Amino acid sequence: MDQILRPATRPVMEAIFASQRAAAQADPVVPRALRADRLTRLETALTEAAPALIAAMSRDFSYRPAADCELFDITLSLREIRHARRSLGRWMRPRQVRAPLHLMPARGRLMPQPLGVVGILAPWNFPVYLAVAPLAAALAAGNRAMVKPSELTPQTAAALEAAITTHFTPEEVCVLQGGPEEAAAFTTLPFDHLLYTGSTAVGRKVAEAAARNMTPVTLELGGKSPAVLTPSADLDRAARRIAWGKGVNAGQVCVAPDYVLVPRPQMARFVRRLEAAFLALYPEGAASPDLAAIITPRHRDRLRSMLHEAETSGAEVIRLPSDAIPAQQHKFPPTIVVDPHPGLQIMREEIFGPLLPVVPYDTPEEALTFVAVRDAPLALYVFGTRREEIDLWLAQSRSGGVTVNDTVLHVAFDTLPFGGIGPSGQGAYHGDAGFEIFSHMKPVMIQPRLNAGRLMEPPVTPRKRQLLGLLRRMI
């Protein structure tokens, strides 16, 4: 527990960064065997520390189901590590690139090389997975890494630091403690790449700080991710999967469904099915053992304020039971808000909790416009059984990613890139994209002894002009 009370000072951060940068420069070629060894050590660290990490996460949240911690933070992290280790041979192989006609017979290739030292700013909502998944990609790419967890999950950060320290030297990987001041100092280090997961507002500050060092960034942010029911949607299936996606981590997920668009004739039936789906998942309401707590009382009070504004404005509110909650747990019941005014806070800000607005629409064009006039979301969920209805949304909407007839699970689809667009983020990682974002894909042109390069050298003779004219017509 003492580790929680020891934030890393700026001089400590700078010293660790300098040691990692020196080590990276001393060994610029990181062989496959060493990368695999580092991934294996990361897997061992996570496996050994899993019980401590699960207990720490529950304490940090005041209550978090062990099953959620096990699945979303431990199992998914192990999947990322193992997938990266299995893919090393393919990822590290130089990629051949076809030469353009005017440069033939030259050859081209892309050589993946480590960037050097990577910074990872992890959030509190999945404090292990969102630290370990990018770390696995960074190690697979041959980098050293510094990880700064959120100050809102200090016990998890301490357990993660202890696990990493046991299996890695500080020159390879380190975990740094601290609050907002330490996080701000962290962003000013001249990393070779910086990945941040969190709010859009803080993401802007991270990008500004990184820009001073010309540090490239990957920003995994959030926004209001809509779920859209097309007229052909299976209401029972949609209600069940939307309720599940909103209930995961008590809605504290960057890709949680933030509101639902429903054809007006189906509103009443869908709301009944949605309420039934929530009750089936959480029969004891907020006291259900499978529902996580809200991270802090301040975050819970924000949800209460949102709900109070919606209710006093005249929106219909359907709550699950909220009695019998242990006093020390910051729980909040899943709550449906029917047809709230678009100017309310609940419709303007990312909710990040188990409140779910349900909004009617009359035509597909109206629904598309409703989404389009707002910031492009990190995720979009489309429910339907008719191909043309689904294709309309795939073609005419903008979002970081899309899941059809489900919610949230595309994050675990680690052979697809994961990332946002516009205010919901920039850049993407997971799988191949994660390896490439943390690598310099160095372009190499190899010129054979016999080539046409001399055509470009002066003096320009009539014969060269004739050949260059022929080339211009051919390319």
Q: Do 226-419 and 2-221+426-441 fall under one CATH topology?
A: no
Is residue 5 very low, low, confident or very high in pLDDT (cuts 50, 70, 90)?
low
Provide mean pLDDT across the span 419-429: 95
The ranges assigned to domains in the chain are 2-221+426-441, 226-419
Is residue 2 very low, low, confident or very high in pLDDT (cuts 50, 70, 90)?
very low
Q: Are 241 and 405 in contact (CB under 8 A)?
A: yes
The count of other CB atoms within 10 Å of the CB of residue 89 is 10
Q: Which residue type does 413 have?
A: F
Provide mean pLDDT across the span 198-220: 96
* pLDDT tens, position by position, 317-366: 999 988 888 889 999 999 999 999 999 999 999 999 999 999 999 999 99
Domain 226-419 = CATH 3.40.309.10: yes
Whether residue 3 has pLDDT greater than 50: no
Q: Is 387 exposed, middle or buried (0-12, 13-18, 19+ CB in 10 A)?
A: exposed
* pLDDT tens, position by position, 105-155: 999 999 999 999 999 999 999 999 999 999 999 999 999 999 999 999 999
The catalytic residue among 161, 254, 350, 389 is 254
Catalytic annotation on 174? no
Whether residue 420 has pLDDT greater than 90: yes
Q: Read out DSSP for 83-108?
A: HHHHHHHHHHSPEEEPPPGGGTT-EE
**Whole-number pLDDT of residue 101:** 83
Q: Are 429 and 137 in contact (CB under 8 A)?
A: yes
Q: Which residue type does 387 have?
A: R
* pLDDT tens, position by position, 264-273: 999 999 999 9
The count of other CB atoms within 10 Å of the CB of residue 179 is 12
Catalytic annotation on 220? yes
CATH H-level, domain 2-221+426-441: superfamily: Aldehyde Dehydrogenase; Chain A, domain 1 (3.40.605.10)
The catalytic residue among 172, 220, 389, 436 is 220
Determine what percent of the chain is predicted with pLDDT higher than 90.
90
Q: What is the pTM of this model?
A: 0.94
